[in-house]
Amino acid sequence: MGFDIRLSIGMMFSVFGVLVGAYGAATQGDEMYARHSLGLNVNLWWGIVMLMFGAGMLLLARRGTMAARSAAGRSADKTLKSRIVK
């Protein structure tokens, strides 16, 4: 299996999620949230959402890589067995 786009998307969203979440945590209680976003710390919440999405994509990429390795191993075993039987 070649390049898996889920890996790079997962890494990008995880890094951005950590950055945005850390900024939201650092500016907790700032008056800008009261004026602009109805008192919600949008940066913190969206940082958490992006981090969860990135972690999910990394998990799916890992699962796909493991499945591809397993399938490749099974096909190699079948090829080896067919050569031995002949």
Residue/partner pairs of 39-47 with CB below 8 Å, 24 or more apart: 46/20, 46/21, 47/17, 47/18, 47/19, 47/20, 47/21, 47/22, 47/23
- Report the chain's mean pLDDT, rounded to a whole number: 86
Q: Pull the structure tokens for residue 57.
A: 């994509």
Sorted by where each begins, the domain ranges of the chain are 5-85
Q: State whether residue 86 is helix, strand or coil.
A: coil
Please write the tens of the pLDDT for every residue from 64-86. 877 777 776 666 556 656 666 65
* Alpha helices in the chain, H assignment, sequence order: 5-26, 31-36, 42-85
The confidence score (pLDDT) of residue 47 equals 98
DSSP letter at 27 equals T
The confidence score (pLDDT) of residue 66 equals 79
Q: Report the predicted TM-score, pTM, of the whole model to 2 decimal places.
A: 0.74
